Amino acid sequence: MLGVSDDRGYELVAEPDEAEVIVVNTCGFIGPAKEESIDAILRMASFKESGSCRKLVVAGCLSQRHPVELADEMPEVDHFLGSSDMLRLSEVLDRDDAARLLVGNPADWVQRASDPRRPSVSRHSAYLKIAEGCNRTCSFCIIPALRGLQRSRTIADLVAEAEQLVASGVVELNLVSQDTIAYGRDRDGDERLAGLVRALAEIPGLRWLRLHYLYPETITDELVELLDAHPRVLPYVDMPLQHASDAMLRRMRRGHGGARMRKLVERLRAKVRGLVFRSAFIVGHPGETDDDFAELCEFVRWAELDHVGVFRYSSEDGTASATMDDAVPPKVANARHRKLLALQRPIARAKNKALVGREIEVLVEGESDESDFVLEGRHAGQAPEIDGKVFLALGPDAPPASRGQIRRARVTAAADYDLVAELIDGPREAGEPSPPRRAIRRAGGVVRLRTVG
């Protein structure tokens, strides 16, 4: 949508009262995200009276899931775009008589390299969506209903988009989809995830390539080798495991049990040097007993994962879980949520403290909000937006550093999720290889637009 707005002669403005068009991009996946999206819509609607806003647009999964209900309940919204109708923002910007509901069938769309795009995270780090939709039948998940069945892009198309991003200054690509491990299975031919990763990693100028949302199933030897040995494929695995109890994994329809998960973790630890493992778990799912939760806690203690996210179960209409008996009281789910996060905290702290005194590579992201004398960045084991940060002190003798550089630094202090480090080298020339790899163990948004000229 940012690419579309650029093509139509609009620019971003800092404050909503300056915007002529406000776009609220929503999430409809779980209850808290829906509530946050509704709150954002109502806040932005006030600027139709107090600001210069002439069009309020609501886009994303919430529009896809409840278009008619939202249109009836929110007359202040001028247009609704579905989860796969981002390009139709051009109709809203070009025409005063554009339809109010611009919600299509998500199965009819998949992103292409030719689509207009403007990276929204930073100039140097970007997400690359490799597929749309999901063929899994997890009992708690509404995504197949919102996004359709999986539709993988071709390797050639993804390489073309990645090359455009790298040419614009991107040095880190984060591969995302609803089911990354299943890339290519929906297409004829032999294009699979390992082949895609290898092709992307060979793009000149790309420094870091990271994989997100791998389903916990067998990972091919070729992909494991890339994670272990390729200098630009980070040894970072983001794999939502969801639970560890066999009984809960059956109720969640995950297609495997806890024993297979343990073998997978052990295999990756043995085969991938410097592995950083991120996962996510759901607590409070219908039928989760005290024994099930205790088994999950035991697994988290055993696995000693680097990063862990914990979600309280959200009952969603249209899912199999929503029809199940034995609902877990919210008070119990909240307590389990707090306990599992508290259990993970000392594990994360110990892993960070083990880095003190060691050298790491840091992607410099810019000045810190905390002080003009501190830069912020991330090391290879920290994904954008979800993991911690590295704070780089700028002493009088520190070498200069610029946003987008990947620099060597020595860790001087550690907290639960963040690190403090000092730069120890100057910037390398473009194309200069990185030093040998070393082991390294935190919903919707609002876009405001104004015409240019």
Q: Are 280 and 241 in contact (CB under 8 A)?
A: yes
CATH level 3 topology of 109-353? pyruvate-formate lyase- activating enzyme (3.80.30)
Q: Is the pLDDT of residue 371 over 70?
A: no
> What average pLDDT does the chain have?
88
- Higher per-residue confidence, 129 vs 425: 129
**Calpha distance 399→27 (Å, rounded):** 42
pLDDT for 372 equals 61
SS3 sequence, the chain? Answer: CHHHHHHCCEEECCCHHHCCEEEEEECCCCHHHHHHHHHHHHHHHCHHHHCCCCEEEEEEHHHHHCHHHHHHHCCCCCEEECCCCHHHHHHHHHCCCCCCEECCCHHHCCCCCCCCCCCCCCCCEEEEECEECCCCCCCCCCHHHHHCCCEECCHHHHHHHHHHHHHCCCCEEEEECCCHHHCCCCCCCCCCHHHHHHHHHCCCCCCEEEECCCCCCCCCHHHHHHHHHCCCEEEEEECCCECCCHHHHHHCCCCCCHHHHHHHHHHHHHHCCCCEEEEEEEECCCCCCHHHHHHHHHHHHHHCCCEEEEEECCCCCCCCHHHCCCCCCHHHHHHHHHHHHHHHHHHHHHHHHCCCCCEEEEEEEEECCCCCCEEEEEECCCCCCCCCCEEEECCCCCCCCCCCCEEEEEEEEECCCCEEEEECCCCCCCCCCCCCCCCCCCCCEEEEEEECC
Would you say the CATH fold of 109-353 matches that of 2-107?
A: no
Q: Are 131 and 110 in contact (CB under 8 A)?
A: yes
**Calpha distance 279→445 (Å, rounded):** 24
Lookup: tokens for 259: 């024993």
Q: Is the pLDDT of residue 257 over 80?
A: yes
Q: What is the pLDDT of residues 213-230, one digit of tens each?
A: 999 887 899 999 999 999
**Dihedral sign of CA atoms 421, 167, 84, 196 in order:** negative
Strand partners, 411: 421
Of the chain, the percentage scoring pLDDT greater than 90 comes to 70
CATH level 3 topology of 359-423? OB fold (Dihydrolipoamide Acetyltransferase, E2P) (2.40.50)
Q: Is the pLDDT of residue 301 over 90?
A: yes
Q: Of the given ranges (23-32, 267-276, 314-323), which has the lowest mean pLDDT?
A: 23-32
What is the dotted CATH code of the domain comprising 2-107?
Answer: 3.40.50.12160
Q: What is the pLDDT of residues 391-409, one digit of tens each?
A: 997 766 667 788 888 999 9
**Calpha distance 388→239 (Å, rounded):** 17
170 Cβ contact list (under 8 Å, min separation 6):
119, 123, 124, 125, 126, 206
Q: Is the pLDDT of residue 436 over 50?
A: no
Q: Is the pLDDT of residue 125 over 70?
A: yes
Average pLDDT for residues 82-87, to the nearest whole number?
90
Angle separating helix axes 258-271 and 221-229, nearest 10 degrees: 40
pLDDT for 34 equals 87
**Calpha distance 117→219 (Å, rounded):** 31
pLDDT for 108 equals 82
pLDDT for 337 equals 97
Give me the amino acid identity at 370. E
**Calpha distance 339→321 (Å, rounded):** 23
pLDDT for 267 equals 94
**Calpha distance 387→345 (Å, rounded):** 13
pLDDT for 360 equals 93
Q: Is the pLDDT of residue 55 over 50?
A: yes
- Say what the pTM is: 0.86
Q: Of the given ranges (77-81, 95-99, 116-120, 186-190), which has the lowest mean pLDDT?
A: 116-120
Q: Are 218 and 182 in contact (CB under 8 A)?
A: no
Q: Is the pLDDT of residue 345 over 70?
A: yes
Parallel, antiparallel or unpaired: strands 390-393 and 419-423: parallel
pLDDT for 80 equals 94
Q: Where are the domains of the chain?
A: 2-107, 109-353, 359-423
Q: Is the pLDDT of residue 284 over 50?
A: yes
Give me the amino acid identity at 31. G
Q: Are 242 and 284 in contact (CB under 8 A)?
A: no
Query: How far apart are the two ends of the chain, measured CA to CA in Å?
Result: 20
Q: Are 7 and 437 in contact (CB under 8 A)?
A: no
168 Cβ contact list (under 8 Å, min separation 6):
119, 123
pLDDT for 395 equals 65
Average pLDDT for residues 256-270, to the nearest whole number?
92
